[in-house]
Amino acid sequence: MSVVDIASGLVQKVVLLATEEVIQAWNLHDDLETLRKRLESIDALLSDANTRNLTMPAVQNWFNKLEALANVADVFMDELAYEVTRKKIIAVVGMGGQGKTTLARMVYNKDDVINKFPKRMWVTVSDDFDFMKILNQMVVSLTSRPSTLENIEGLINYLQKKLKGVRFLLVLDDVWNEKQGDWDNLRNSLLGVGAARGSNILVTTRKQEVVDTMRCSVCYSVEKLSMEYSWELFKQRAFSHEGVLETEIFKTLGRRMVERCGGLPLAIKTLGSLLHSKKSEQEWLLIDNSEIWKSKGVLSSLRLSYDNLPYPL
């Protein structure tokens, strides 16, 4: 990349960063504005010199020094941009089945969140951190229609039209990828969208390494449910709405099985829903004595639920 290209790129980065809320809070806006004006002058001078194809040793030496300085400035601006983005990222981390997605969905659908963020996007990432796929899913979430865009530039231009000057909330659900380069690609694209100050990204993940890679500004760890709350959640599923009667024998068996769920909400809800339709002590004992409990947590209760599905007619 030539020094002219670097200088032009620096101008664009400064313009984007100057509008960010955290830049205002750090009192860097005036400094960036001064830098922008100087860079524009340098960019114009370099373009003129490049057009004239000046090759004098003194001019060439000046070009070389300026290129080295521009490269350092470019790295610094990328780091500053990273810090700006980091201030916007909130992570929810916890084991599978602990309710991370449920919590994120509750936040996503709250009235005050809807009012604060005119544009909201939900992308389920899972273990396939495909940059193009994520951008396409952002478009789908915004438009409720399949995205037919197949190149990065087209996707970013479209997102700019939808998000420029608008405060947005982006949820990246179930992120597994720890690769810095993949996240950098997405981060740089989001910076280029030009959204309004106060936009935020909410990430859910099982892995602390993901949180570290993204350098999230705030991280909430979802704790396991206590036995008291686990039991209350189970009772809502198993004993209510024409479920089995809450007798002593069913409470004893239920508590024993709930304890094996390890405080995982998904496992507890799955177990409660399964036992809701089991009306006899024999049926409960059959599930209580199942060998499937040897695999712990949410997988055991999901497998029990699957194995006890009614046969098709």
pLDDT above 80 (res 124): yes
What local confidence, expressed as pLDDT, does residue 23 receive?
Answer: 45
What local confidence, expressed as pLDDT, does residue 293 receive?
Answer: 77
For residue 20, tell me if it sits in a domain.
Answer: yes
pLDDT band at 19 (very low <50, low <70, confident <90, very high): very low
Q: According to the per-residue pLDDT averaged within each range, which of 23-27, 127-131, 156-160 is highest? A: 156-160
What local confidence, expressed as pLDDT, does residue 32 receive?
Answer: 55
Average pLDDT of the chain is 76
What local confidence, expressed as pLDDT, does residue 87 receive?
Answer: 52
pLDDT above 90 (res 250): yes
* 166-206: pLDDT as tens digits: 889 999 999 998 888 888 888 878 877 877 778 888 999 98
pLDDT above 70 (res 79): no
For residue 253, tell me if it sits in a domain.
Answer: yes
What local confidence, expressed as pLDDT, does residue 223 receive?
Answer: 82
What local confidence, expressed as pLDDT, does residue 284 receive?
Answer: 92
Radius of gyration of the chain, Cα coordinates, nearest whole angstrom: 27
What number of other Cβ atoms are within 10 A of residue 59's Cβ?
12
Give the chain's length: 313
For residue 313, tell me if it sits in a domain.
Answer: no
Q: Minimum mean pLDDT among 16-20, 85-89, 240-244, 288-292: which range?
A: 16-20
Q: Look at 188 and 258; give whichever has higher pLDDT.
A: 258
Burial readout 109-124 (b: 16 or more C-beta within 10 A, e: otherwise): eeeeeeeebebbbbbe
Distance separating alpha carbons of residues 196 and 131, to the nearest angstrom: 22
pLDDT band at 156 (very low <50, low <70, confident <90, very high): confident
pLDDT above 90 (res 121): yes
For residue 80, tell me if it sits in a domain.
Answer: yes
Residues 79 and 94 in one domain: no
DSSP string, the chain: --HHHHHHHHHHHHHHHHT-HHHHHTT-HHHHHHHHHHHHHHHHHHHHHHHHT---HHHHHHHHHHHHHHHHHHHHHHHHHHHHHHTTEEEEE--TTSSHHHHHHHHHT-HHHHHH-SEEEEEEEET---HHHHHHHHHHHHHSS-----SHHHHHHHHHHHHTT--EEEEEEEE----HHHHHHHHHHHHHH-PPTT-EEEEEES-HHHHHHHT-SEEEEPPPPPHHHHHHHHHHHHTSSS-----HHHHHHHHHHHHHTTT-HHHHHHHHHHHHT--SHHHHHHHHT-GGGGS-THHHHHHHHHHTPPPP-
Residues 241 and 280 in one domain: yes
Residues 30 and 121 in one domain: no
Residues 71 and 174 in one domain: no
pLDDT above 90 (res 245): no
For residue 136, tell me if it sits in a domain.
Answer: yes
Distance separating alpha carbons of residues 65 and 60, to the nearest angstrom: 9
The CATH code of the domain that includes 102 is 3.40.50.300
What local confidence, expressed as pLDDT, does residue 211 receive?
Answer: 87
Phi, psi (deg, nearest 5) at residue 218? -135, 135
For residue 177, tell me if it sits in a domain.
Answer: yes
Domain boundary among 184, 205, 221: 221
Residues 192 and 216 in one domain: yes
What local confidence, expressed as pLDDT, does residue 307 receive?
Answer: 56
Share of the chain above pLDDT 70, in %: 66
Of 208, 198, 172, 176, nearest in space to 187 by CA: 172
Residues 137 and 186 in one domain: yes
For residue 312, tell me if it sits in a domain.
Answer: no
What local confidence, expressed as pLDDT, does residue 25 receive?
Answer: 43
Phi, psi (deg, nearest 5) at residue 170? -115, 125
Question: Are the C-beta atoms of residues 68 and 53 closer than 8 Å to each other?
Answer: no
What local confidence, expressed as pLDDT, does residue 215 receive?
Answer: 77
Residues 117 and 210 in one domain: yes
Residue with tokens 């695999």, as numbered in its chain: 295
Residues 237 and 274 in one domain: yes
pLDDT band at 313 (very low <50, low <70, confident <90, very high): very low
Residues 8 and 51 in one domain: yes
Domain boundary among 37, 57, 85: 85
Q: Minimum mean pLDDT among 101-110, 134-143, 239-248, 290-299: which range?
A: 290-299
Structural domains counted in the chain:
3
pLDDT above 70 (res 110): yes
DSSP string, 100-163: HHHHHHHHHT-HHHHHH-SEEEEEEEET---HHHHHHHHHHHHHSS-----SHHHHHHHHHHHH
Mean pLDDT of 283-292: 86
Residues 92 and 203 in one domain: yes
pLDDT band at 51 (very low <50, low <70, confident <90, very high): low
What local confidence, expressed as pLDDT, does residue 61 receive?
Answer: 63
Distance separating alpha carbons of residues 272 and 251, to the nearest angstrom: 12
Domain boundary among 221, 250, 278: 221
Q: Look at 284 and 84; give whichever has higher pLDDT.
A: 284
What local confidence, expressed as pLDDT, does residue 127 receive?
Answer: 81
Domain that holds residue 287: 227-307
pLDDT above 80 (res 60): no
Residues 130 and 198 in one domain: yes
Distance separating alpha carbons of residues 213 and 234, to the nearest angstrom: 36
